[in-house]
Amino acid sequence: MKTLTIAALSLIALSGNASEIKDVKITKTMMSQSYGSVIFIKVDEAPSRGSGHCHTNHSWDYVIATESEFGKQMLSQILTAYAAQKTIALKGNDLCTIVNGSEDLTRIELY
Protein backbone atom coordinates (compact mmCIF):
# COMPACT_ATOMS: atom_id res chain seq x y z
CA MET A 1 0.00 0.00 0.00
CA LYS A 2 2.84 2.37 0.85
CA THR A 3 4.46 1.71 -2.54
CA LEU A 4 1.17 2.42 -4.32
CA THR A 5 0.78 5.71 -2.45
CA ILE A 6 4.33 6.78 -3.32
CA ALA A 7 3.76 5.88 -6.98
CA ALA A 8 0.52 7.88 -7.09
CA LEU A 9 2.17 10.91 -5.48
CA SER A 10 5.05 10.68 -7.96
CA LEU A 11 2.63 10.76 -10.88
CA ILE A 12 0.86 13.77 -9.42
CA ALA A 13 4.20 15.54 -8.95
CA LEU A 14 5.25 14.77 -12.53
CA SER A 15 2.02 16.13 -13.97
CA GLY A 16 2.66 19.43 -12.19
CA ASN A 17 5.12 20.52 -14.89
CA ALA A 18 2.98 19.44 -17.84
CA SER A 19 2.29 22.36 -20.15
CA GLU A 20 -1.05 23.52 -21.44
CA ILE A 21 -1.71 26.47 -23.70
CA LYS A 22 -4.97 27.83 -25.11
CA ASP A 23 -6.01 30.24 -27.84
CA VAL A 24 -2.91 29.79 -30.01
CA LYS A 25 -2.22 29.08 -33.67
CA ILE A 26 0.38 26.81 -35.19
CA THR A 27 3.10 28.87 -36.86
CA LYS A 28 5.19 26.03 -38.28
CA THR A 29 5.64 22.28 -38.35
CA MET A 30 8.58 20.09 -39.33
CA MET A 31 9.20 16.47 -40.21
CA SER A 32 12.65 15.17 -41.08
CA GLN A 33 14.05 11.86 -42.22
CA SER A 34 16.45 12.19 -39.28
CA TYR A 35 13.54 11.83 -36.84
CA GLY A 36 11.44 9.29 -38.71
CA SER A 37 7.69 9.61 -38.19
CA VAL A 38 7.89 12.50 -35.70
CA ILE A 39 6.33 15.91 -36.33
CA PHE A 40 7.56 19.00 -34.49
CA ILE A 41 5.09 21.82 -33.73
CA LYS A 42 5.61 25.52 -33.00
CA VAL A 43 2.80 27.82 -31.82
CA ASP A 44 2.55 31.60 -31.70
CA GLU A 45 3.00 31.79 -27.90
CA ALA A 46 5.41 29.84 -25.74
CA PRO A 47 3.72 27.32 -23.43
CA SER A 48 4.31 27.91 -19.72
CA ARG A 49 6.40 25.17 -18.16
CA GLY A 50 7.50 24.73 -14.57
CA SER A 51 11.11 24.61 -13.46
CA GLY A 52 12.76 21.24 -13.85
CA HIS A 53 10.72 20.46 -16.97
CA CYS A 54 12.30 18.11 -19.52
CA HIS A 55 11.58 20.49 -22.42
CA THR A 56 14.71 22.40 -23.47
CA ASN A 57 14.13 22.82 -27.22
CA HIS A 58 13.52 26.51 -27.95
CA SER A 59 12.88 25.95 -31.67
CA TRP A 60 9.81 23.72 -31.21
CA ASP A 61 7.04 23.53 -28.61
CA TYR A 62 5.79 19.93 -28.92
CA VAL A 63 6.39 16.67 -30.78
CA ILE A 64 4.13 13.83 -31.86
CA ALA A 65 5.11 10.32 -32.94
CA THR A 66 2.84 9.52 -35.88
CA GLU A 67 3.30 5.76 -36.34
CA SER A 68 0.35 4.78 -34.10
CA GLU A 69 -3.30 5.24 -35.05
CA PHE A 70 -3.63 7.94 -32.39
CA GLY A 71 -0.51 9.67 -33.72
CA LYS A 72 -1.96 9.67 -37.23
CA GLN A 73 -5.18 11.22 -35.94
CA MET A 74 -3.20 13.87 -34.04
CA LEU A 75 -1.19 14.61 -37.21
CA SER A 76 -4.44 15.09 -39.13
CA GLN A 77 -5.70 17.54 -36.50
CA ILE A 78 -2.38 19.43 -36.49
CA LEU A 79 -2.33 19.76 -40.29
CA THR A 80 -5.99 20.83 -40.34
CA ALA A 81 -5.37 23.47 -37.68
CA TYR A 82 -2.27 24.74 -39.46
CA ALA A 83 -3.80 24.88 -42.95
CA ALA A 84 -6.99 26.60 -41.75
CA GLN A 85 -5.16 28.76 -39.17
CA LYS A 86 -7.61 27.53 -36.51
CA THR A 87 -7.29 28.62 -32.90
CA ILE A 88 -6.35 25.62 -30.76
CA ALA A 89 -5.48 24.43 -27.27
CA LEU A 90 -2.58 22.03 -26.68
CA LYS A 91 -1.50 19.96 -23.71
CA GLY A 92 1.71 18.09 -23.08
CA ASN A 93 2.56 15.47 -20.49
CA ASP A 94 5.86 16.72 -19.01
CA LEU A 95 7.65 13.84 -20.72
CA CYS A 96 10.24 14.03 -23.48
CA THR A 97 10.14 10.38 -24.56
CA ILE A 98 9.74 10.87 -28.33
CA VAL A 99 12.64 13.29 -28.79
CA ASN A 100 14.99 14.20 -25.96
CA GLY A 101 14.37 17.81 -24.90
CA SER A 102 10.98 18.17 -26.65
CA GLU A 103 7.70 17.69 -24.77
CA ASP A 104 5.31 14.99 -26.01
CA LEU A 105 1.93 16.37 -27.12
CA THR A 106 -1.01 14.46 -25.65
CA ARG A 107 -4.04 16.60 -26.47
CA ILE A 108 -5.28 19.05 -29.09
CA GLU A 109 -8.53 21.00 -29.24
CA LEU A 110 -9.62 22.92 -32.34
CA TYR A 111 -12.01 25.84 -31.86
Q: What are the tens digits of pLDDT across the range 20-29? A: 999 999 999 9
Per the structure, the count of domains in the chain is: 1
Cβ-proximal residues to 68 (8 Å cutoff; 6+ apart), any chain? none
For 33, the domain range is 2-110
Distance of CA 35 to the CA centre of its chain: 16
Average pLDDT of span 62-80? 98
Q: How many CB atoms lie within 10 A of CB 79?
A: 13
- Specify the CATH number for the domain of residue 28: 2.40.50
pLDDT at 11 over 60: no
pLDDT band at 10 (very low <50, low <70, confident <90, very high): very low
What pTM, to 2 d.p., does this model score?
0.83
